[in-house]
Structure 1
Amino acid sequence: MTRTEAPATDDESSVVGKLSTLDRFLAVWILATMALGLAMGRAVPGLDDALAEVEVGGISLPIAVGLLVMMYPVLAKVRYDRLDAVTGDRKLMVSSLVINWLIGPAVMFALAWIFLADLPEYRTGLIIVGLARCIAMVVIWNDLARGDRDAAAVLVALNSVFQVLAFGLLGWLYLDLLPGWLGLGDGEHLDISMPEIALNVVIFLGVPLLAGFLTRRLGEKKLGRESYEATFLPMIGPWALYGLLFTIVTLFALQGRTITSQPLDVARIALPLLVYFALMWFGAFALGKAIGLPYDRTATLAFTAAGNNFELAIAVAIATFGVTSGQALSGVVGPLIEVPVLVALVHVSLARGRTFTPAQQLTAEPKES
Structure 2
Amino acid sequence: MGLFERYLTIWVALGIAAGVGLGLVLPALFQAVAGLEIAQVNLVVAVFIWVMIYPMMIQIDWAAIKDVGKKPQGLLLTLTVNWLIKPFTMAALGVLFFKYLFAPWVDPQSASEYIAGMILLGIAPCTAMVFVWSQLVKGDANYTLVQVSVNDLVMVVAFAPIAAFLLGVTNVTVPWETLVLSTVLYVVLPLAAGMATRHHLARRSPQAVGAFVAQLKPWSIVGLIATVVLLFGFQAGTIVEKPAVIGLIAIPLVLQTYGIFFISWWGAKLLKLPHDVAGPACLIGTSNFFELAVAVAISLFGLNSGAALATVVGVLVEVPVMLSLVAIVNAWRPHVHVPRA
TM-score, normalised via structure 2 length? 0.79
Residues 1:242 and 2:238 aligned together: no
Q: CA deviation at 1:303?
A: 1.4
Residues 34 and 84 of structure 1: CA distance in aligned 2, closer, same or farther (over 3 Å)? farther
- Residue 67 of structure 1 contacts residue 247 of structure 1 at CA under 8 Å; is this kept in 2? yes
Aligned to 1:356: 333
Counterpart CA distance in 2 for 1:152 and 1:203 is 19
Name the CA distance, whole Å, in 2 between partners of 1:257 and 1:91.
49
One-letter identity of the residue aligned with 1:215: T
Superposed displacement of residue 58, structure 1: 1.3
Indicate the larger mover: 132-141 or 69-78: 132-141
Aligned to 2:258: 278
Shift of 1:206: 1.9
Q: Which moved more, 1:92-101 or 1:252-261?
A: 92-101
- Mapped contact 1:307–1:338 kept (Cα < 8 A): no
What does residue 302 of structure 1 align with? 286
Q: Could you say what secondary structure the match of 2:30 adopts? A: helix
2:16–2:232 CA contact under 8 A, matched in 1: yes
Shift of 1:307: 9.0
Show the 5 A alignment for 1:158-237.
158-172=154-168, 174-175=169-170, 188=171, 190-193=173-176, 195-222=177-204, 224-225=205-206, 227-229=207-209, 231-237=211-217
Separation in structure 2 between the aligned mates of residue 317 and residue 78 of structure 1, nearest angstrom:
30
Which stretches in structure 1 are left out of the alignment for 5+ residues? 1-18, 176-187, 360-369
* SS of corresponding position for 1:138: coil
Q: 1:241 to 1:145 in 2, by over 3 A?
A: farther
CA shift, 1:304, in A, is 4.4
State the alpha-carbon separation in 2 of the partners of residues 249 and 137 from structure 1.
24
Tell me, yes or no, if structure 1 residue 132 matches structure 2 residue 120: yes
1:44–1:167 distance in 2 versus 1, CA, 3 Å: same
Aligned residue number for residue 23 of structure 1:
5
Q: TM-score scaled to structure 1, two decimals?
A: 0.73
Q: 1:189 to 1:302 in 2, by over 3 A?
A: closer
Label 1:298 to 1:114 Cα distance change in 2 as closer, same or farther (>3 A): closer
CA contact (8 A) 1:99 1:305 kept: no
Cα distance, 1:263 vs structure 2: 2.2
Tell me which amino acid in the other structure corresponds to 2:251: L
> What is the aligned residue count?
317
Distance in 2 separating the partners of 1:103 and 1:333: 24
Q: For residues 201 and 77 of structure 1, what CA distance do their matches in structure 2 show?
A: 20
More helix by share: 2
Q: Deviations over 1:239-283 (max 9, x none)?
A: 333332222222222323332222244444443333233323443
Residue in 2 that maps onto 1:157 = 153
1:59 to 18, 23, 41: 41
Cα distance in 1 between the residues matched to 2:266 and 2:20: 35
Q: Structure 2 regions of 5+ residues with no counterpart?
A: 136-143, 337-341
Tell me if structure 2 keeps the 8 A contact 1:67–1:136. no
Aligned residues of 1:133 and 1:159 also touching (Cα < 8 A):
no
Residue matched to 2:232? 252
- Give 1:47 deviation, angstroms: 2.9
**Identical aligned residues as a percent:** 22
Is the CA contact 1:93–1:155 (under 8 Å) kept in the aligned structure 2? no
